[in-house]
Amino acid sequence: MIELLQEQLFQLALVAALLVGLCAPAVGTFIVQRRLALLGDGIGHVALTGVALGFLTGTTPVLTAVIVSIIGAVAIELVRARGRTSGDVALALLFYGGIAGGVMLMAIAPGGSNAKLNSYLFGAIASVTPEDIWVIAALAVAVIGIVVVFGRELFVLCQDEEMARASGLPVRFLSLLIAVTAALTVVIAMRVVGLLLVSALMVIPVATSQQLTRGFRTTMGLAMLFGVLASVGGLLASTFSTKVPPGAAIVLLALAGFVLALGVGKFVRRGRTQESSVTDRPQLRVEEVA
């Protein structure tokens, strides 16, 4: 294990896994709370067009994916907010348009082939370069910074949009901020778990944490921990066995954690119920005596 940590490729992959494991559940907590769990999938498909555009123009696919993903995320939020079509229909438009655009642009790119998209569709954490790490780290800092600075306002918005509007919060700005943050997270994670699986890492750790906790901050913190464990565990599994794809291993580990949390959560909730009932009994007696 010590020798493995000294290898540069593993060090780069480990840093990428840690950053993705932290960012994806942090943003996913707001998305799940707002019932937009499929938003990551929609943006992921749009990011595919951005990746293909990078190959077409001869630029860095990660940077073009950032630009196209942000544009797509803003578009979906504006369409949803204006009510001209429902959120699921708008997401479907992103699904189909993103895939078709990516395949078309890659087909006409000089020397392009759809096989080159596989590393972005399913992840290729072992091929992460130092340049990729710098971009991923910069995006991760931006995502965590947004969560820290606007966390309370975003929480109010996700709880009740009407209450947020009545409280004087800039609902439109905050909604766009969530969409843009989700877009950045998708691009961060696409080299680790792939565009087709990125939404899983944004949703599953949050769903797992919800089985064990109640508070919003606690849920987010625990989800980030689960995200890191799944990401690092999937990386180690793919390192020790070359037949194990890292993206799939990460998602399957996250799912295994969710199944385990389902069982543990039943005992936790049962304990809370018994504790609250014991706490209520003396109060009832006091009232009856009074």
Three-state SS annotation for the chain: CHHHHCCHHHHHHHHHHHHHHHHHHHHHHHHHHCCCCCHHHHHHHHHHHHHHHHHHHCCCHHHHHHHHHHHHHHHHHHHHHHCCCCHHHHHHHHHHHHHHHHHHHHHHCCCCCHHHHHHHHCCCHHHCCHHHHHHHHHHHHHHHHHHHHHHHHHHHHHHCHHHHHHCCCCHHHHHHHHHHHHHHHHHHHCCCCCCCCHHHHHHHHHHHHHCCCCCHHHHHHHHHHHHHHHHHHHHHHHHHCCCCCHHHHHHHHHHHHHHHHHHHHHHHHHHHHHHHHHHHHHHHHHHHHC
- How much is the pLDDT for 281? 45
Burial class (CB in 10 A: 0-12, 13-18, 19+), 224: buried
Higher pLDDT, 246 or 180: 180
Whether the per-residue pLDDT at 288 is higher than 50: the answer is no
Tell me the mean pLDDT in the region 139-152. 86
Determine the residue type at 163.
Answer: M
Closest CA to 250 of 117, 70, 126, 134: 126
Tell me the mean pLDDT in the region 170-192. 84
Tell me the mean pLDDT in the region 222-248. 84
How far are the Cα atoms of 40, 156, 218, 268 from residue 204, in angstroms, in the given order? 12, 22, 16, 19
Over residues 81-92, the pLDDT tens digits come to 666 555 567 667
Distance CA 9, CA 129 (A): 8
The angle formed by the CA atoms of residues 281, 285 and 290, to the nearest 5 degrees, is: 150
Closest CA to 157 of 177, 184, 141: 177
Q: What percent of the chain has pLDDT over 90?
A: 3
Tell me the mean pLDDT in the region 105-132. 73
- How much is the pLDDT for 255? 92
Are 257 and 229 spatial neighbours (Cβ–Cβ below 8 Å)?
yes
Whether the per-residue pLDDT at 140 is higher than 80: the answer is yes
Provide the mean pLDDT of the chain. Answer: 78
Higher pLDDT, 120 or 230: 230
Over residues 41-77, the pLDDT tens digits come to 778 888 888 888 888 887 778 888 888 888 888 887 7
Distance CA 81, CA 205 (A): 27
Over residues 152-162, the pLDDT tens digits come to 888 888 888 78
Whether the per-residue pLDDT at 100 is higher than 50: the answer is yes
CATH code, 1-269: 1.10.3470.10
Are 46 and 66 spatial neighbours (Cβ–Cβ below 8 Å)?
no
Are 31 and 81 spatial neighbours (Cβ–Cβ below 8 Å)?
no
- How much is the pLDDT for 39? 77
pTM exceeds 0.75, yes or no? yes
